[in-house]
């Protein structure tokens, strides 16, 4: 069966329904007490490229499960009151779709930023190594 709506169309439709920050706005918001950056990339991307310092890693494939308080996989960080969640991936494709999905789930305190992590690095945003797991 052929694909009737490709990824480009899905992204275009999602972009019309979500809030997107400029890269400069995202860099300026970094470090704020009311902002949580959420890295959606695969762990191999984090190890290879680094990540935004202080970002929470939520692999794209687990995001909905980690956000939903009724899920056995729920992460408490997503229930912190007064927080804005800024999602990002490498090129802002996954983050666009993920932001739309979280909006569809009822979260309105979620945004993404243009051009993703590659744009962040290009604009001189801070980058750190992926924190090592203790244990």
Per residue in 31-70, pLDDT (tens digit) is 999 999 999 999 999 999 999 999 999 999 999 999 999 9
Mean pLDDT over 78-101 rounds to: 97
Nearest to 94 by CA among 133, 38, 52: 38
111 within some domain: yes
79 within some domain: yes
Domain that holds residue 87: 7-122
The torsion angles phi and psi of 63, rounded to 5 degrees, stand at -55, -55
Bridge partners of residue 129, in order along the sequence: none
What is the tally of structural domains in the chain? 1
Nearest to 45 by CA among 59, 55, 56, 26: 59
2 within some domain: no
pTM confidence score: 0.94
134 within some domain: no
CATH number at residue 85: 3.40.250.10
H/E run at residue 88: strand 84-88
């Amino acid at each position: 069966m052929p694909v009737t709506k490709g990824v480009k169309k899905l992204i275009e439709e999602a972009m019309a329904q979500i809030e997107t920050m400029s890269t400069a706005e995202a860099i300026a918001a970094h470090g704020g007490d009311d902002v949580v950056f959420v890295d959606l990339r695969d762990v191999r991307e984090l190890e290879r490229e680094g990540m935004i310092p202080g970002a929470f890693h939520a692999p794209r494939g687990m995001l909905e499960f980690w956000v939903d308080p009724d899920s056995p996989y729920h992460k408490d960080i997503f229930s912190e009151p007064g927080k804005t969640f800024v999602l990002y991936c490498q090129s802002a494709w996954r983050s666009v779709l993920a932001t739309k999905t979280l909006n569809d789930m009822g979260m309105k305190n979620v945004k993404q930023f243009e051009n993703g992590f590659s744009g962040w690095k290009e604009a001189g945003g801070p980058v750190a190594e992926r924190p090592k797991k203790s244990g």
